[in-house]
Amino acid sequence: MANSLYISKFNRVLLAIGGIILLVVVKVPMWRIDLSAPQYPEGLSMFIYPSHLGGNIDIVNGLNHYIGMKHLRTEDFFEFSILPGIIIGFAILFFLTAFFGKKWIANILLLLFILFGIIAMVDFWRWEYNYGHNLNPEAPIIVPGMAYQPPLIGFKQLLNFGAYSVPALGGWLFIIVGCLLLFVNLKEWKNSKKVNKFVQKSATLIIITIVFIFSSCNISPTPLLIGKDKCSYCKMPYSDNRFGAELITRKGKIYKFDDIHCIVAFIHDKANETKNAKLYFVNFDDDHNLIPLEKVLLIKSNQLHSPMNGDVAAFNNSVEAKQAIEKYAASVVDWHELVSTTKP
């Protein structure tokens, strides 16, 4: 009966391995933010270590000056002074749990690990929000209503820069350690004759954490804004809200277009990147919302006079489409046929 209070030898080994991995995490970057723009084809990268910032910080700070963002400096973040100690502390707790082998210690460790993950991600979001919104009102470049908060995870377009935020090596190692800890607790719970409600609650918390983190990924279409957005292909300002399209790649990167002609040309030029991408088209009538390809009805007429002479309009309502066909002497076109028959 006493054995029911202790963790199996195999799971104790896993906990010891988790502690070793956490010692590695202290020395490697936990997160990275990559920036890409036409003037930086090779890209810029910022790495967030447990104790400092790394990467192209000087160049990023030079760019931030123009839009009014504060300079990024390691000494401005108190988190860098305590984070290595917290990670080492967790490593010690993993070793102690493996040494003593008590299930209740593993349960508490899981709860602490989850709470730390939630607090860390919330703090990271708060940090991004403050730097992206608290801008210098006397900055050389001011776009009314524009904020520059990078994404928590995934891709986000910031003026002509694309920002891609993902875990770095240390972040993925930290996630692996969390999975090991969860596995150990669930395995011990499964082997126990009595249901451990504490572990159940811990598992629920980690699921909530995962949902919170990945819900921050920007995989939904964003409205095209006249005067602010530019076409990703022709680079012309978005000027007519009756036309336009949006493409979201598998990695969550968003491209915006002012005309059907531009998105078709873009797909031909970047066939690999746009494969299996999600496509959306601006509704020609009424609200001008973005319609997914699966629900769109396209018509074509040289009387439509779209910005780049693609002269194709999208509808999500067959009645409105029929009225437009009569009004503009248009014909229905198939998207896949349009792409295949249009020359690059």
Per-residue pLDDT reduced to its tens digit, 199-209: 556 556 666 65
Q: Examine the domain organization and report whether 177 and 259 are in the same domain.
A: no
Q: Cβ–Cβ contacts within 10 Å for residue 7, how many?
A: 24
pLDDT over 50 (residue 1): no
Q: Examine the domain organization and report whether 171 and 250 are in the same domain.
A: no
- Choice between 204 and 222, residue whose per-residue pLDDT is larger: 222
Any domain includes 66: yes
Any domain includes 306: yes
Least-confidence region, from 25-34, 173-182, 235-244 = 235-244
Q: Examine the domain organization and report whether 253 and 195 are in the same domain.
A: no
DSSP symbols for 29-98 = --EEEEEEETTEEEEEEEEE-SS-EEESHHHHHHHHHHHTPPPP-GGG-THHHHHHHHHHHHHHHHHHHH
Q: What percent of the chain has pLDDT over 90?
A: 45
Query: How do residues 138-175 score in pLDDT, each as one tens digit?
Result: 888 877 767 788 888 888 888 778 888 999 999 999 99
25 confidence band (pLDDT: 50, 70, 90) = very high
Q: Cβ–Cβ contacts within 10 Å for residue 60, how many?
A: 20
184-203 mean pLDDT = 66
Q: Examine the domain organization and report whether 198 and 271 are in the same domain.
A: no
Which pLDDT value is given to residue 201? 61
Which pLDDT value is given to residue 343? 61
Which pLDDT value is given to residue 143? 76
Any domain includes 63: yes
Which pLDDT value is given to residue 191? 67
pLDDT over 80 (residue 59): yes
Q: Examine the domain organization and report whether 150 and 79 are in the same domain.
A: yes
Q: Examine the domain organization and report whether 202 and 306 are in the same domain.
A: no
Q: Examine the domain organization and report whether 72 and 177 are in the same domain.
A: yes
Which pLDDT value is given to residue 131? 85
Domain housing 283: 245-341
The two tokens of residue 166 are 């993902």
Distance CA 29, CA 50 (A): 7
Domain count, the chain: 2
